[in-house]
Copies of this chain bind each other. A is one copy, B any other.
Amino acid sequence: MLMRKVTKVGAMQRLARQWRQDGLRIGFVPTMGFLHDGHLSLVRRARQIVGPKGMVVLSIYVNPMQFAPTEDLAAYPRDLARDTELCRKEAVDVLFLPMNEEMYPADHGREFSTAVVEEKISRCMEGASRPTHFRGVTTVVAKLFNMVLPDVAVFGAKDFQQGAVIQRMVRDLNFPLKVVVAPTLRESDGLAMSSRNKYLQGDERRQALVLSRCLRQTRERVRKEGVVAAARLRDAVAAMVSAEPAARLDYVEFFDPETLVAVEAVEPGTQMAMATFVGRTRLIDNIKL
């Protein structure tokens, strides 16, 4: 089966509308490219849901709107040739590569002035550390949904809050689709797969294991002790992170996985998420305790 590359928004919409008219189910995996096995597991999940006759679209778009001026937009890793080959092997039907000029047209009289904002569960954690991030995410995802018209969109659980924010947006704005959040894939030593792992230099790669180690040890403790004060767990995590010379804790939070409201008494089922700089690389990870 031939994989199609689509770069024009209008062409993508026409394809999607034709598929819908033909009764074909559409599965969608939005990414920023530099694909790894985690992404490919989302493609397989999408395929599983829409079936062999369904259509699977993977988009690659490094969305400027979700990066702050100080962040790594320009440096974000890209390898379209490799991504294309990976998509082909996974039997992706359409590789959708929208372009900045069409996504955010900035010509006169074509100014871009609309945003989708989630104002509750996007405030904490990533939203606190990156105040304009989720506004960029919800806006671009709404746009992509309107281009690809999916029945199901699959996101990775590593970005736990992102998955929750998008589910909230879909529900609140009644997008006619289902959001699936699929499990995080990990390297054999526990590091959560992420395109940003490529930034890690020298010993940073080893030190980056502190995230998954914190999550695992916290889970073991909560499973053993039953209920533990969040403050005590936070202290233990801070100590573990500060033991790694290149690591600096950004946040660690314990919260209800549905409402993202922080809890003081942590128990099995509580969600834990953390962000840590390792050198100049900011990594996130999370776990259900």
Contacts and interface: CB of A to CB of B under 8 A. Distances in A.
A23 B18 CA distance: 9
A146 interface: yes
B120 A17 contact: no
A70 interface: no
Given A109-B258, A109-B259, A259-B109, A174 B115 contact: no
Nearest to A23: B21
Contact of A147 (B23, B115, B142, B174): B174
A96 to B, nearest CB: 12
Contacts of A147: 174, 176
A94 to B, nearest CB: 16
A20 interface: yes
B173 A146 contact: yes
A188 interface: no
A99 interface: no
Contacts of A9: 174
Contact of A119 (B23, B114, B142): B114
Interface residues of A, number: 35
A152 to B, nearest CB: 14
Contact of A174 (B20, B111, B143): B143
A76 interface: no
6 contacts: A17-B20, A114-B169, A116-B173, A142-B173, A143-B172, A146-B173
Interface of A: 9, 13, 16-17, 20-21, 23, 109, 111-121, 138-139, 142-143, 146-147, 149, 168-169, 172-176, 258-259
A141 B113 CA distance: 16
Given A143-B174, A147-B174, A176-B149, A117 B120 contact: no
A54 to B, nearest CB: 14
Sorted nearest first, the 6 A-B pairs with minimum C-beta distance are A113-B120, A114-B172, A146-B174, A114-B118, A114-B169, A143-B174
Contacts of A149: 176
Contacts of A23: 21
Given A21-B21, A113-B121, 20 more contacts: A13-B176, A17-B20, A111-B120, A113-B118, A113-B168, A114-B117, A114-B118, A114-B119, A114-B138, A114-B169, A114-B172, A114-B173, A115-B117, A115-B119, A116-B116, A117-B117, A143-B172, A146-B173, A146-B175, A146-B176
A12 to B, nearest CB: 9
Contacts of A111: 120, 259
Counting chain B CB atoms within 10 Å of each CB, which of A20, A143, A174 scores highest? A174
A120 B259 CA distance: 32
Given A176-B17, A259-B109, A114 B146 contact: no
